[in-house]
Amino acid sequence: MPVYLDSSEPGFEAAFTALLGAKREDAPDVDDIVAGIIADVRARGDAAVIELTAKFDKLDLTPETLAFSEAEIEAHCARVPPAEAEALELAAERIRAYHVRQMPENAQWTDPEGATLGWRWGAVSAAGLYVPGGLASYPSSVLMNAVPAQVAGVERLVVACPTPGGVVNPLVLYAARLAGVETVYRIGGAQAIAALAYGTQAIDPVDKITGPGNAFVAAAKRRVFGRVGIDMIAGPSEILVIADAENDPDWLALDLLSQAEHDESAQSILITTDAAFGRKVAEAVEKRLKTLERREIAGKSWRDFGAVITVQTLEEAAKLSDRIAPEHLELCVADPEPLAARIKHAGALFLGQWTPEAIGDYIGGPNHVLPTARSARFSSGLSVMDFLKRTTVARMTPEALAAIGPAAETLAKSESLEAHGLSVRARLDKLNR
């Protein structure tokens, strides 16, 4: 059974705090294992990746077959049903159009002292995009990672997607083709992250790694950060729905289950101003769980981590939402805009009852790679900015250096950095001759 909380009851604060602190990452201590895997890949390269792929994915590879060949990609893409191909094409088009608008502009100006200042943006040279394989093989994740990288101008895009037992999802390869990815490696886990970060004989290293994965992938991304950039450490999926009673309980039940079916550790929470309506939604969830294909996963998630919270006002709901800082936040209320204006912390907002979170997972346009585990308090979803670097630009004229150089020299002396001050003084002396 999910947790039922009422903000007007004694003990609510303690119960809500416990809900926030519940550990959902049902993973063993994998860091030592991952450290060994990374060290092995760094030492032995392809041989280590091939051995680990055989061990974990039951797939025998050679250096020549680590990546799909062009002929294999063509053959698999040809198997994609027309309706699914069209849907992916529409998704790619909408995702691209959204992310094009995110591109920042270069800037340059001359300040009152005559110095030219500014910045310019440039893409990372190479990005490695991790896409989970097996049962959790999502072509939508390929588009969400690769399209913003392509829009940003990344020159080399590669995908790592494991194929346990050699089972391939043709949609993943079709999505990669749509997003301009030329190389798709059939490897996964910590060994794939290590290979992308450090390179092997057959795999060139990248500058940034993005994309979700299991506990081993997350631990590997933590360990290689610094050698390469990463987007974020993804945790279990989560959704918060704030709703009034003027909604269809079954619709909201399906919205809650749309995240619960991802993972037994996913979390679905409903906040409502009507306790009776909250009960109706919970009843609708139970009814849907009887027929849902992934009912065992979704049912465990709902029973172990689900919650129905009754509040007195929508303002109170917004305050609780900011403490949760959810990955996905649906505002299923009569007038969602004023409520949205109160929200400070959320990975993605979905406004009104006609905007289910699922539309954002596939076709809406905004990215579905979002901060989890309350990290929306300080981070954002994946965007073109994750694949760009900002370089600052400065140019002094003799007049500008004469105006501000003495202050720089003074500060250098105060920090006991003699050469800093002398490098400025040498030029000032030249001007004073």
Nearest CA to 294 out of 273, 263, 256 is that of 263
How far apart (Å, rounded) are the C-alpha atoms in residues 171 and 21? 37
Pick the catalytic residue from 328, 330, 357, 368.
Answer: 328
Task: Supply angle C-alpha 319, 325, 328, rounded to 5.
Answer: 115
- For 126, the 3-state DSSP assignment is strand
Q: Percent helix, strand and coil across the chain, each rounded to 5?
A: 50, 15, 35
User: Is 327 one of the catalytic residues?
Assistant: yes
Report yes or no: 355 and 243 within 8 Å, Cβ to Cβ.
no
How far apart (Å, rounded) are the C-alpha atoms in residues 300 and 269? 14
Q: In the numeric block, which tokens belong to residue 387?
A: 């694949």
Nearest CA to 163 out of 262, 248, 67 is that of 67
Pick the catalytic residue from 327, 330, 357, 368.
Answer: 327
CB contact set of 236 (below 8 Å; sequence gap of 6+): 24, 25, 262, 263, 265, 266, 267, 372, 373
How far apart (Å, rounded) are the C-alpha atoms in residues 44 and 128? 20
Q: In the numeric block, which tokens belong to residue 245?
A: 């009673």
Rg value, the chain, Cα: 26
Active-site annotation, residues: 327-328
